[in-house]
Amino acid sequence: MTARSSVVHTMKGYSTQEVSDLIELPESVIRDIARGVLDLGRDPNHHFRFSFQDLVILRTAKELINSGVQRSKINRSLTELRKQLPSNRPLTALRISGDGGSVVIHHKNQVYNPESGQIHFDFSASELAGTVAPMARKAAENAEALNQLSSDDWFDLGVDLEAVSPADAPDAYNRALSIEPDHADAHVNMGRLLQEAGKFDAAEEHYYQALESEPDNSLAAFNLGTLLEDTGHIHDAIEAYKKAASFADAHYNLSRLYELVGQHTKALKHLRTYRNLLES
């Protein structure tokens, strides 16, 4: 395992009608699938609000229905799939297909039925993301015209755009920061994008600003640790990882770095903590 920065995800609210218009499924079907699979937020009027990831899952469900998979089996399979995935592994990273009336998943180098474990295969949910991206942009354009976008709205749009139009995401995060300069999550995601682009100094500044706004922001501390490690500042990376104690990967990285600097007892301690967190 190598040091790898992480991303903040959040929910942007789309109504049931908007989702129905976009993916061409009846609202009643959407609600039925949503109640069986998704963990949805609600607006002040108690109506469902769908995130970008939710839209992709529903679009995937439509494709499975069209391929002949029974709706009850789709719900069971997607629910079981969500249980099996790590919390930071989005469904859009998988390939999903209807194979002979069954739901099958392609994850990394494995293909399996999430209910039976049988090997199968084939369409990419990430490819479906492109079909819902225009909704995110349209919602932003309409709201911006009325000066309705808040810093959180711009942040949510940035998260959406990363899935389908990464080059546009930094502008959304920068707009969030122009409205709320201490928006910690926007700083974290902007820092990660800059880090991935090799702009380490600018990325480091965003991580530090996130930590200044939220000193207990474990994600900012973890990402800062990966950056400091990448740039050869090992002892500073150790201090950053120590502030991300809730992350199993932070303890794994601490174990590696303590071993590197010859502190074997501390390396073993963090390796044990890493294993305990994975098992908990």
Give a three-class secondary structure readout of 246-259. Answer: CCHHHHHHHHHHHH
Q: What is the mean pLDDT of residues 41-47?
A: 66
Whether residue 104 contacts residue 97, with contact meaning beta carbons closer than 8 Å, is answered with yes
* Per-residue pLDDT at 86: 46
Q: Given a cut of 70, is residue 95 above it in pLDDT?
A: no
Rounded distance between C-alpha atoms, residue 30 and residue 24, angstroms? 10
pLDDT one-digit tens code per residue, 197-219: 999 999 999 999 999 999 999 99
Find tokens 């592994």 and name the residue.
89
Find tokens 């201490």 and name the residue.
182
Whether residue 159 contacts residue 11, with contact meaning beta carbons closer than 8 Å, is answered with no
Cα end-to-end distance, the chain, whole Å: 20
Q: What is the mean pLDDT of residues 99-113?
A: 53
* Per-residue pLDDT at 6: 56
Per the prediction, the chain carries an average pLDDT of: 76
Q: pLDDT confidence of 2, banded at 50, 70, 90?
A: very low
Which fold does the domain 16-128 belong to in CATH? Multidrug-efflux Transporter Regulator; Chain: A; Domain 2 (1.10.1660)
146 CB-contact burial (10 Å; exposed 0-12 / middle 13-18 / buried 19+): exposed
Rounded distance between C-alpha atoms, residue 93 and residue 10, angstroms? 17
* Per-residue pLDDT at 105: 56
Whether residue 175 contacts residue 194, with contact meaning beta carbons closer than 8 Å, is answered with no
Find tokens 């819902």 and name the residue.
132
Worst-scoring range by mean pLDDT, 44-58, 155-169, 170-184, 241-255?
Answer: 44-58
* Per-residue pLDDT at 16: 84
Q: What is the mean pLDDT of residues 249-273?
A: 92
Report in angstroms the alpha-carbon separations of 179 from 13, 143, 158, 205: 20, 15, 14, 18
